[in-house]
Structure 1
Amino acid sequence: MQFVSINDVVIRYDVAGAGDRKPVIVFINSLGTDARIWDLVLPKLSEDFTLVSYDKRGHGLSDLGKPPYRIEDHAADLAGVIDHLGYANVIICGLSVGGLIAQSLYATRPDLVRALILSNTAHKIGTADMWNERIAKVEAEGLGPMVDGIMGRWFTAAHRVPENAAYRGYCNMLLRQPVAGYSGTCAAIRDADFTEVAKNIAVPTLCIAGAEDGSTPPELVRSLADLVPGSRYHVIENAAHIPCVEAPAAYAAVIREFLAQLPGE
């Protein structure tokens, strides 16, 4: 676990895996989570890739900064972490809002991006009214009353059982999320529209959907894939919005298959 100050915000990050001589994959977590959502996937990739994970601002152990945010704020933080590590031409894997951040990074710093893995995301997610309602609710009541509804979109019914300790742990992760970081990132999602960016993505791109995703359903992820020239689209069965938690082996396998087909650097 390491920390760096980027844009006056302290960002927590980790570097693991095979070392600098291997391709670098950077993972971006979803709304209301932190980098630990990748814990079951990283070991399945660690022999062949350098793996970077981090907590975006307002999440995990990173600073809150000054919410509300823009997606561009998150992308600038990510660019700062990559520059700090001295990397370029990396593979960016972003889940949900992480996928929006990945698209923003491509739009602003294409020199950093070799390929994109856009997971459980879209070019635009939800409506302004939906996000404004959520922001108002969480700011008035906190995240507690929202946990059951959010978890119903994040995980399949088979995962959401009381005897599943991991499920209870992810409920705790959401409950301990700073409200201002959550609502501030909701505002960033509300205002983001990468429709035109997606149409002009010119690096290899994989779009991943969870078959039972209640937040970004497969048809929404498919609409993103249809915009990105030459992209690949894959649905992970028996998984919802966070397939890296529910189906880590399948998730790592589809990433490996995609990366095996990338042209050499």
Structure 2
Amino acid sequence: MIESGRAMAGDGCAIAWRMDGPKDGPELGAADAPVVILSNSLGTALEMWAPQVAALSASFRVLRYDTRGHGHSSVPAGAYGLDRLGRDVLDLMDALGIARAHFCGLSLGGMTGQWLGVHAPDRFDRLVLANTAAYMGPPSGWQARIASVLENGMAVMTSALLERWFTPEFRAAAPDSIAPVREGLLATSPAGYAGCCAAIRDMDMRPVIGLIDLPTLVIAGASDPATPPADGEVLAARIAGSQLVTLDAAHLSNIEQSAAFNAALLDFLS
């Protein structure tokens, strides 16, 4: 089963989505399979989750979407807020008739997941927060990044981002895995990237993450310079009953350690 389309968020932004899952057939119960929503990181699109689709879609309907400003979603002008990114997910679920789902977000997607866990727990069964943080300050750093990308485009930061996203060993050993990520970065709209940078700039979930009352898995990367293991430890300490898994990876752990990431995900969701 493969479906795709664009759904309208409440403010008129079109959110591009794709659903993969069990083949149609009453014996498989494809239409009734639980849904897992995958939310991408800053500067990527739904394709970043390609290493997870085969593993998950045997048992789940896998809903990937492009965060606003990224991929094939619309690029509204101006700064975005984390609450808007969270409502985009709820609007997408409503448009597709999904009452409840599991949610897995990485980096910016994990920040969106934190917002959903606090503000819409009734819509989710299990929550996975990967390579993310409750706060990524200082705001001045994000403001400088916004100014740079709007003035100079995405190419100015692509190499530096790839160095932070993958360990040197992985970059040397797996150029075929790095290439599509580089292409995706270069294809990202500077305005959309800047809009989402503003959401991170203005985000501070530290006072409220303890309100999350969902079964939660936190995934950290041992060599992640963007959201270091300490950030994952903060999330796990403040979300009651959560689990913490640390992988031998940098920031995009779902790509660098896809087998271990998938094993942790399946174990938790099953």
TM-score of the two chains, using structure 1 as the length reference: 0.93
Instruction: Spell out structure 1 runs of 4+ moving beyond 3 A.
Output: none
Q: Is the 8 A contact 1:4 1:12 kept in 2?
A: yes
Q: Structure 2 vs 1, CA of residues 45 and 162 (structure 1 numbering), >3 Å: closer, same or farther?
A: closer
**Residue of structure 2 in register with 1:26 after alignment:** 37
Whether 1:67 and 2:70 are equivalent positions in the alignment is no
> Counterpart of 1:227?
238
Distance 2:37 2:116 in 1: 12
Amino acid of the structure 1 residue aligned with 2:7:
V
| Conservation of the 8 A alpha-carbon contact between 1:11 and 1:61 | yes
Give the Å deviation of 1:9. Answer: 0.8
1:203-222 matches, cutoff 5 A: 203-222=214-233
Distance 1:24 1:163 in 2: 30
- Within 5 Å, give how 1:55-204 maps onto structure 2: 55-161=66-172, 164-204=175-215
Residue 244 of structure 1 aligns to which amino acid in structure 2? N
Unaligned runs of 5+ in 2: 23-29
Query: Aligned partners of 1:113 and 1:194: how far apart in 2?
Result: 19
Question: Offset at 1:88?
Answer: 2.2
Q: Judge conservation of contact 1:161–1:167 (CA < 8 Å) in 2.
A: no
- Check if 1:10 corresponds to 2:14: yes
Query: How many pairs were matched up?
Result: 259
Whichever residue aligns with residue 9 of structure 2, its letter is: I
Separation (CA, whole Å) in 2 of partners of 1:15 and 1:255: 18
CA RMSD of aligned residues (A): 1.4
Larger deviation, residues 178-187 vs 4-13: 4-13
Amino acid at match of 1:258: F
Q: Distance in 2 between matches of 1:44 and 1:196?
A: 35
Q: Distance in 2 between matches of 1:221 and 1:133?
A: 25
Q: TM-score, normalised by structure 2?
A: 0.92
C-alpha distance in structure 1 between counterparts of 2:202 and 2:156, whole Å: 25
State the one-letter code of the partner of 2:180.
G
Q: Residue 240 of structure 1: CA displacement? A: 1.1
Conserved 8 A contact 2:118-2:211: no
Contact 1:236 1:250 in 2 (8 A): yes
> How many Å apart are 1:162 and its aligned residue?
8.9
Deviation at 1:98, TM superposition (A): 0.6
For 2:213, the aligned partner's letter is: A
Residue 252 of structure 1 corresponds to 262
Aligned 8 A contact 1:88 1:111 in 2: no
More off after superposition, 125-134 vs 153-162:
153-162
Q: C-alpha displacement at 1:163, in angstroms?
A: 7.2
Q: Runs of 5+ in structure 1 lacking a partner?
A: 261-265
Moved more, 15-24 or 72-81: 15-24
CA distance in 2, matches of 1:187, 1:235: 28
